[in-house]
Each structure stands twice: as C-alpha cells, then as structure tokens.
Structure 1
Amino acid sequence: MRTRLIALILLAANTVALADDNPRTVSVSGKATVTAQPDIARISMSVVERNKSLNVAQQSASATTAKILRLLDRLKIDRKRIDTTGLNIRPDYRWNRTSEQQELIGYVVERQIMVELRDLDNLGKLLEGAVEAGANQVSPPGFDRTDRAELHRRALADAIRDARANADVMVAAAGAEIGNVMTISSSGMPSQPRPMMRAMAADAVAESAEASYVTGDIRFEAFVNIVYELAP
C-alpha cells in the first residue's frame, strides 16, 4: 500500500511538471508598412564601342566616358560617388558562310559607369544627359534611403504592435488574459521602386523630358510572429 501511494505521488508530480512544460499559448502574426520617398538613386550605365582597331575602340569609349564625367561634374556629383573602373574588352566575331568559320572583324570595348545620385531632382537630367553624351546602355535606377535601417525598425515596431492588437482581440474573445512573450521572430525587406513616366496632359506636352521621371515610394515592410503565454 505504501509503495502504491509513493507511485501515485510521483505520477501527480510528473503530471504537474508536464503541465508546466506545455503552457497554454496563443500564436499571432503582425505586419506593418512604412513608406518614404527615396533619397538615393544608383545608376549603372555603359559605353560600348565597336571597331576594327582595338585602339580606336578604346579611345572612342574613353572619350565618351570623359563626356559623361563632365556631365556629372556639371550636376555637382561628388567623384567619390562615381566609379568608372569597369572595363570589358572582347573580340568581335562574325560567321563567314563561305568558309563556315568564325572570323575576327574587330573588338568591342565596354566602359561601365556607376553613379550614386543624392539629389534626385537631377535624376532626369542625369539619365537624359548620359544618353545624349553617348551612353548606349542605361539600367533602371535602384532607389534607397540613407536611413533605411531606422525606417525598417519603425516598421518592425509597428508590426509588433499590430500582433499585440490581434492577440488582445483573440484572447479577450476567448475569455482569457495574455501573459509573457515566449517567442518572437521577424522578416521583411524594403521593396525597390522603379522610375515611372509621368502622364502628361495635353497642355503640358512641351514639358522637358528631364521632368518626366517620377520616383515611387520605397515600402519598408515588416512581418512578425509572436507566441504569448496565456495568464493562469
């Protein structure tokens, strides 16, 4: 009888421990978005020249690159935010149907230019001016914020508040109370807008091409998952 009583006591203790190891919880998610106008644009452009002579192709590419640099100087872009070190040289071949062989017809020289623009009012002038100066490949600008970390943290805090509000509704409807946070995780990255051509009214056809580039907002999105313990 004594042995059986001890066994029952141990079983009850284990049951209490098991209950403590598996507390009642509620799992919720939250999301938030913070939008902001970009204050940085990163533009990649290339000058590509083809010629029978490698020297001529190089000189032509260098001359065009110099013209683009003068444009950037006029726009007062700091040289520290300009990179012109990208260089690619490759032979230019053409298929000869008569000999059924590839034949060398010249060379292709590509100069790559990377620019970080801080004054977005000059975005249109930069894009249009670079093409006029001879850039024959211009990639869509990539936009960013100098305070991206702060904006993402703001979205993260808003997402946590959203999750807590969701938990309050669920728990109150169930007639319970929220306890401590048990786990919390987050995810989310800012999306990158592309420049949009602004629609022009009939009476604004004469508007300059530089003014037709309009940037969209950057969206900083945050998503969180939180597990709350229910109060006893």
Structure 2
Amino acid sequence: MNKLVSIVLMSVALSLSPVQAALLHTSGEAKLLALADQVQLDLQASSLAKTAAEAKQRVDKIVKVTEANLSPLLTDSDRFEASQLQIRAEYQYQERERVFVGYLAERSIMVELANLEGLTQILDAAMISGVNEVRQLLYKSSQEEQLKQQVRALAIADSYAKARHLAEGYNSQLGPVVEVNYRNQSAVPRMKMEGALMAVADSGGSSYQAAQLEYHDQVDVSFELVTEN
C-alpha cells in the first residue's frame, strides 16, 4: 500500500514541473547604401498675364517648346508628362487694399530619366525653354525592388541574431515566432541630400553628383523563450 502511494505522489510531482515559456520581444533593423542611376524631374511652368486667355496661351507655349527641345534628348526609356492647366486670379495688397494684378496660369512638367548622364543637358534645355522652376529632383535606383528585398532580409536576420543572443544570455532556448509586426512603408529610399547638390565645375559649367540612396527597413518580432524551472 505504501509503495502505491509513493508512486502516485511521484507522478503528480512530475506533472507539476512542465517546461514553461515566456515571450522575448526584439526588433531587427538594417540599411543599405546605393548610388542612384535614375531621376525624376518635377518642373514648373507658369505665366502671369492680364487675361486668363493670355496666361493660358503663354504657359501652354512654354510646355510645347520644352517638350520639343527635350524630345531629341530623351530615349525610349525616358518619359515626359505635363499636367493639366491650373489658373487663378492673383492679388497684391497695396496700402491695405487688395489689388488685382492678373491671372496666374501653371502647369507641372514631369520628366523621368532612366540614365543620369543626360541630366545636366536636360535641365539646361528646360531652362532655355522657359521653365520657371525646378521643384524637385527625385533620385531613384533601377534595382529598387531587389534592394528592398535585400534590406528586408537583413532586418529579419538581425532580429534573429539579437533574439538568439538574448536567449543565450538568460540560459534559455529560442522558441518559435509568436508575433511579427512589419511596417512596409519603412522600406523606402532616403536620399542623402549632399549627393544631389549641384557642384560648379572648374570649367565654369555645372554638373550633378550622383545621389546616394539609403534603404532602411525594420521588423518587430516576438519569440517564445523556452526555460525550465
């Protein structure tokens, strides 16, 4: 009888000491640097005139001349696109009175270049054609999708490396993934502005340095941390 009781008690004691699991939260981060090999130009054509018709006629002429001058410089891989006309009345305050000064007509011009080699020539041609403003030079990489996938894989590997190191530090084992939080919008290129600034050449002309793109990604992950009492 005593032997039977002792066996039962031993089995109960074993059932009360299972392997227990806690959660380990960590983040993986990674970044990649790449030189841009493409660029998008956001240009602005505008004209102020006394009548709306005259303002429209002037700005349409700027767009038409710009397209004609840029066309020989563009390849089949490049793109030229002009927006619809926007026109509004313009006023100025003179001696606290609002005075009508004319109608402002505006059209945006977008030029995508698959190669950076012709950038300076394109900009010069646009300015000669009457374009009023270069609003933005948006540099890109032709390998963007591959770079995004690569930096994402590095961020995932970083999360695993950190989690394994922490688990070892606590004399535990890294269990399966419990939860993953991923913000896809973080995997976007960030342009280092110093690379896009115009540099004046010794000859007196102008040239544009290749912009450096920084691809960054981050993933938050929770692992099961397996320990024994």
Would the alpha carbon gap of residues 103 and 86 (structure 1) be closer, same or farther in structure 2, given more than 3 Å must change?
same
Kept after mapping to 2: 8 A contact 1:142/1:192: no
Query: d(CA) in 1 for partners of 2:77 and 2:59?
Result: 19
State percent identity of aligned pairs. Answer: 23
1:215 aligns with 2:210: yes
Secondary structure of the residue aligned to 1:115 is strand
Query: d(CA) in 2 for partners of 1:77 and 1:104?
Result: 44
When you count strand as a share of all residues, which structure comes out higher?
A: 2
Secondary structure of the residue aligned to 2:177 is strand
Kept after mapping to 1: 8 A contact 2:70/2:125: no
Query: d(CA) in 2 for partners of 1:58 and 1:174?
Result: 72
Would the alpha carbon gap of residues 139 and 94 (structure 1) be closer, same or farther in structure 2, given more than 3 Å must change?
closer
The one-letter code sitting in structure 1 at the alignment partner of 2:125 is: G
Count residues in correspondence.
Answer: 212
Query: d(CA) in 1 for partners of 2:40 and 2:154?
Result: 29
Structure-2 residue corresponding to 1:205: 202
Which ranges in structure 2 are unaligned for 5 or more consecutive residues? 1-11
1:158 aligns with 2:154: yes
Kept after mapping to 2: 8 A contact 1:49/1:61: yes
Would the alpha carbon gap of residues 192 and 129 (structure 1) be closer, same or farther in structure 2, given more than 3 Å must change?
farther
**TM-score scaled by structure 1?**
0.76
**TM-score scaled by structure 2?**
0.77
The one-letter code sitting in structure 2 at the alignment partner of 1:123 is: L
Q: CA deviation at 1:213?
A: 1.2
1:186 aligns with 2:188: no
Secondary structure of the residue aligned to 1:140 is strand
1:89 aligns with 2:90: no
Secondary structure of the residue aligned to 1:184 is strand
Kept after mapping to 1: 8 A contact 2:77/2:113: no
Q: CA deviation at 1:77?
A: 4.4
Query: d(CA) in 2 for partners of 1:64 and 1:82?
Result: 14
Q: CA deviation at 1:69?
A: 0.5
Kept after mapping to 2: 8 A contact 1:94/1:102: yes
Deviations, residues 207-230 of structure 1 (Å, cap 9, x unaligned): 531xx2123222111112222223
Query: d(CA) in 1 for partners of 2:129 and 2:209?
Result: 22
Query: d(CA) in 2 for partners of 1:103 and 1:161?
Result: 64
Query: d(CA) in 1 for partners of 2:46 and 2:26?
Result: 54
Secondary structure of the residue aligned to 1:60 is helix
Deviations, residues 22-61 of structure 1 (Å, cap 9, x unaligned): 7223222211112222233222111111222433332222
Would the alpha carbon gap of residues 80 and 155 (structure 1) be closer, same or farther in structure 2, given more than 3 Å must change?
closer
Once structures 1 and 2 are overlaid, which stretch shifts more, 63-72 or 188-197? 188-197
Query: d(CA) in 2 for partners of 1:175 and 1:224?
Result: 25
Structure-2 residue corresponding to 1:119: 115
